[in-house]
Amino acid sequence: MTRVLIVEDNRDLAYGLRNNLEIEGYDVDVAGDGAEGLGRAKATRPDLVVLDLMLPKMDGFRVLRALRDDGLTMPVLVLTARGEESDKVRGLKLGADDYLTKPFGLLELLARVEALLRRAGPRAAAETIGELEIDRSTRSVMRSGSAVELAPKEYDLLIALADRNGAVVSRLELMRQVWGYSDAVITRTIDTHVAELRRKLERDPAQPRHILTVRKVGYRLKR
């Protein structure tokens, strides 16, 4: 499923956008300020970012620059207040892909999101990680050619790891992304699910080659 991150401090607007994007079938994440937006973008690597320029903590320009400096290349659709031409110029230099001036029509936003994603190229039908194949359009996973049945949580967990491109994902991040909690981790929930994933995906679950433990931090998915 295509994932969109909205970075917008106006709660009503953010909520409205999320609703409508979700109806269109996107998987939507929302951040309420610039710092949080940058963090979530780096963590979850969405397919597209809708970025307001006026933001608390860290304004849109800095977020955009930080994103690009981090090597993230997903399209960014910038929301700008009316008539701030100079913003456009400045933003374009920093690597925004499209602009929308407030107030804007919802249909226009949806059309632009769609256009940007199309221009960015259709997402690969199936990504390959070692001997694993993940097809997000059907939420199905194969190991060296044969289908593997994953429970919803297991699939979500795998995706959370796969999205990080081999980097470590902390327990806290997993809790937030997969479980939607923000609490610290005290139970064995994550470990249990990792174990189950290993049982299903690894040749030798005792000697995992893909889902690796990073002690005191979390897990990572080696490609």
Partner DNA sequence: ACGCTCCTGACACGTTCCTGACATTTCGCT
Partner DNA sequence: AGCGAAATGTCAGGAACGTGTCAGGAGCGT
Say whether residue 182 binds DNA (CB under 7 A).
Answer: no
Q: Which stretch binds its own copies (CB under 8 A): 38-46, 71-79, 112-120, 188-196?
A: 112-120
Q: Which stretch binds its own copies (CB under 8 A): 33-41, 49-57, 101-109, 203-211?
A: 101-109
Which of residues 84 and 156 has its CB atom nearest to its own copies in the complex?
A: 156
Given 123, 139, 203, 209, the residue binding its own copies (CB under 8 A): 139
Given 71, 145, 152, 182, the residue binding DNA (CB under 7 A): 152
Interface mask toward DNA for 53-72; x: CB under 7 A: --------------------
Say whether residue 148 binds its own copies (CB under 8 A).
Answer: no
Which of residues 14 and 178 has its CB atom nearest to DNA in the complex?
A: 178
Given 194, 201, 220, 221, the residue binding DNA (CB under 7 A): 194
132: nearest Cα among 207, 197, 179: 197
Closest approach, Cβ 196 to its own copies, in A, equals 15
Largest CA distance in the chain: 61
Say whether residue 1 binds its own copies (CB under 8 A).
Answer: yes
111-126 b/e (C-beta count within 10 Å ≥ 16 → b): ebbeebbeeeeeeeee
163 neighbors 44 (Cβ within 8 angstroms):
yes
80: nearest Cα among 117, 50, 56, 57: 50
Strand order in the sheet with 218-221: 168-170, 218-221, 211-214
DSSP category for residue 129: E
The stretches of the chain forming alpha helices (DSSP H) are 11-23, 34-44, 60-69, 85-94, 106-119, 152-162, 171-174, 189-201
Answer with the entry of DNA, its own copies, none that 207 interacts with (C-beta below 5 to 8 A by kind). Answer: none
Distance, CA of 32 to CA of 9 (rounded, Å) = 5
Say whether residue 24 binds its own copies (CB under 8 A).
Answer: yes
Which of residues 35 and 212 has its CB atom nearest to its own copies in the complex?
A: 212
39 neighbors 182 (Cβ within 8 angstroms):
no
50 neighbors 102 (Cβ within 8 angstroms):
no
- Binding-site ranges for its own copies (CB under 8 A): 1, 16, 19-20, 22-25, 105-108, 110-112, 114-115, 137-139, 151-152, 166-170, 172-173, 176, 182, 214-217, 220
